[in-house]
Structure 1
Amino acid sequence: MKTHLLKLFVCIFLLQGYAPTALANEGDAFPKSDAIWVIHLFDVDQWKGEQYVYGLLGDTIVNDMEYQKLYLLNDTILTIDSRDIYVGGIRQDGTKVYIKPADNKNQEELDEFLMFDFNWDGTELIIKKPPMGWYNFAKQPTFENVAPIEYWDIDYSDFYYYYYYYLVEGTGATSGLFFMPFEFILDNSGRGQGGRLICMKQGDEIKYLSEGCASCFETEPISSSISESKKDNIAHVLYTPANDAVQINIESKIPALFQLYDVNGRQVMDFELNETTTTVNAYNLPGGVYIYRISNIGTHQYGKFIKKMI
């Protein structure tokens, strides 16, 4: 896993831009909570890409300062469970946004460092060799405990180069991008790596939602088709009206995660399956249609049951 850390540090990457109008017009609309970023990294040795997903949800107090909590996610749904890993806190002070990484594996407290400055005028160049803030962040043991969400192939090229500097930029100009804007050009096509904001919510209003990311705010189980095929099912799920209970039988794929949603996409249950047979009491649930999702290492099973209205 040390190789992963080295690649995170060595692979200098380009933060790819886009311009959602709602963010650009607000200037300093850095998300205070409820936001997800996707980070793309490139494996130089194997010439393939890896994708990591980070979510910002909730707050915490560190040394009398309030930080928004940043997690390394196992999916693209902003619901924190046992497989999501806390990696640090983010805070905004005036025009500046800082990140404070969680303690590293040696229990050494890592200092916060500057991510963005909304007053950046586009001319100041910040040079660090190496960029110490990113290096400290990459020392986190969290990166050793997670696999990328997905892979994609990149055509081999024997020509590539990279820039070893970064600019401190404001999200008003860079569309709410996340992490320092490294640049890493792989070939003459200009392809590179970096991160992008895929969803952001302030209060009950969704400020930005990228195409194909309806799952960010717990809507995936509602919008996803529910397969009736039993071939690749993780578990057998049966709701029995007589005793108002859901029985879950799972053989070899434990532990797994069980999540239950109502028809409005609100999560009503979320727990880990550690036994081959689990019985869930549905007595306190109001009548209606419920959709469940069972997840195990990148595999998801969806289904539904109906509880009769009383």
Structure 2
Amino acid sequence: MRKLYTVLIICLSGILFPFCSSAQDEVFPTKDAIWNIYIPKYGAMVTSHYYGFVGDTVFDGLSYRKLYLLKDSVLRENPENVYVGGVRVSGKKVYMRPTDTATGKLLEEFLMYDFSVKAGDEVFGGMRPMVWGCTFENLTGSDIKNTKLQVFDVRDSELGREFGVDLKFESSEGYCESEGSDTWIEGVGSLLGLFLPPSSIPTGKQKWIDMAYGQRSALMCLKVGDKIRYKDPGCEECMEVLNVSENVVIPVTVRQIGNRQLLIQCPVHNLPLQFELLNLSGTVLQQNAVRDGGMTIDLEVSVPGIYIYRIIGDKVYKSEKIVVR
């Protein structure tokens, strides 16, 4: 009899645990998942961001998947990846515990999604980031507010179970009116981009490609393993670097010379340009006017590390990370 129990336990372990893992993945993917998210920046150029899980961690006895803003569309450890927080799934609820990227301090856990809700439900989201266009790369404790979610629609679609949600944040006078609407899809997340708050710019039902400079955040693509789980209608390839306008070009070449210089080359008719160097918390450390088509800029930083440069002009926008040694 004891042997029979042992066999039953082994069999049930092989059946139930994969089932539980699969059920969790259907709520929200936590393994081998990469989100390609478009986030507008200065209403100018394409800013496509990749997010994915690389590794696990434990906070206060709870297990989380470690979520990174990735350097590229590959799930791998990379010193240039930016750790943005931990994500866990509990039943039909998905929680995130972000980190203050300026100090490394853990912030309060908030509710990303609740896929158990019904139309008319109110859900308290907790201390949720409320910066429009937020990438979590420069998130600080001052960017979060207590929030409440109002569910106005729940329906089944060919993409999966969809939830229409309004978001309100708490002020000294109580919860304010809706800051915008979002669509959640079970097994995918937010159509405004994984965990981002609704955009303050009305989007209606327009496609991102029909809007001038794509002035809203949007989920372009979700790839889980080798399968594409979601792809925006305006997106030709899943992990492409997207352009939102045929008339927008980036005619600037930036080349690092040694450890402390950048060579900026640009056609004369695009000058002048503004060069900015920022740290990972978003603070501007250096500004220079680019008035020469082949200008060399000395980087005025004393501490080696990863920085971000921006080049901004009338029809020019370029932003990348650089390593200063």
TM-score normalised to structure 1 length? 0.44
Greater relative contact order, per chain length (Cα 8 Å cut-off, separation 6+): 1
